[in-house]
Amino acid sequence: GYAGFVLDTRVEAKQGERCRRALLEGAKRSEAFPDAKTRLTIAFAEPLDLQGVMRSMAKEIAKFDVLALEPESERAFASACANKHADVVSVRAGQRLKYKFGAGQIKAAFGNKISFEVCYADALRDSTSRMWFFNNAGALARATRGGREYFLISSGANRAMEVRSMHDVVNLATLFGMKEHAARNAMTTNVDVMLKLSKRRRDVDFSASEVTKMNVDG
């Protein structure tokens, strides 16, 4: 029942050359799916690691339609929420998080029009992941005014059998405190808004890089 999908490439910023190879492979693979939206997810614990990847791999990152950041520490969460190039802060809700959803960070992300995301596949894999998923997803929903805006519910599926119908996902979301209409928006309207904003960011970033190049060349 879904109209489309986003093909995700996930890399670990701290892995250096391995991260670079994975990013290059993901960028190349994304070109093989011209009808699908593509996304890069960068997991990081240290903001300097993220800055290094974004600086050295800017051209490759620009090939993806969506840039998601997956923070793994308190400093990383604050950095992700303040990042003006990011489209999504992805929360690995199926595990114990090393940060809290502080009001200041949430406000900064909303100011930058960054969406927060939880992946329901985390609730399907085992009982421990399910426990953490409901705890973390509920906390994030409360911190983001019930997830009424800039809130996404994605599958995070590694296999087709992990994908669930929208009706099932809405029911799941109501169990961690979301209203039914907000849960539906998190898979429809909010996604469209995020994709439009991501395109606008990529266009602005591309224009800025062209101006910089012209200034340097001139």
pLDDT in tens, the chain (218 residues): 788 888 899 999 998 888 888 888 888 877 777 778 899 999 999 999 999 999 988 888 988 999 999 999 999 999 999 999 999 999 999 999 999 999 999 999 999 999 999 999 999 989 999 999 999 999 999 999 999 899 999 999 988 888 999 999 999 999 999 999 999 999 999 999 999 999 998 887 655 554 444 344 44
Q: In which order are the strands placed within the sheet that holds 37-44? A: 6-12, 37-44, 66-71, 88-91, 115-119, 151-154
Q: Which residues of 42-55 are buried (b: 16+ CB within 10 A; e: fewer)?
A: bbbbebebbebbbe
Model's pTM, two decimal places?
0.90
User: Can you tell me the distance from the alpha carbon of 137 to that of 158, in angstroms, rounded to the nearest whole number?
Assistant: 20
Tell how far CA 72 is from the center of its chain.
13
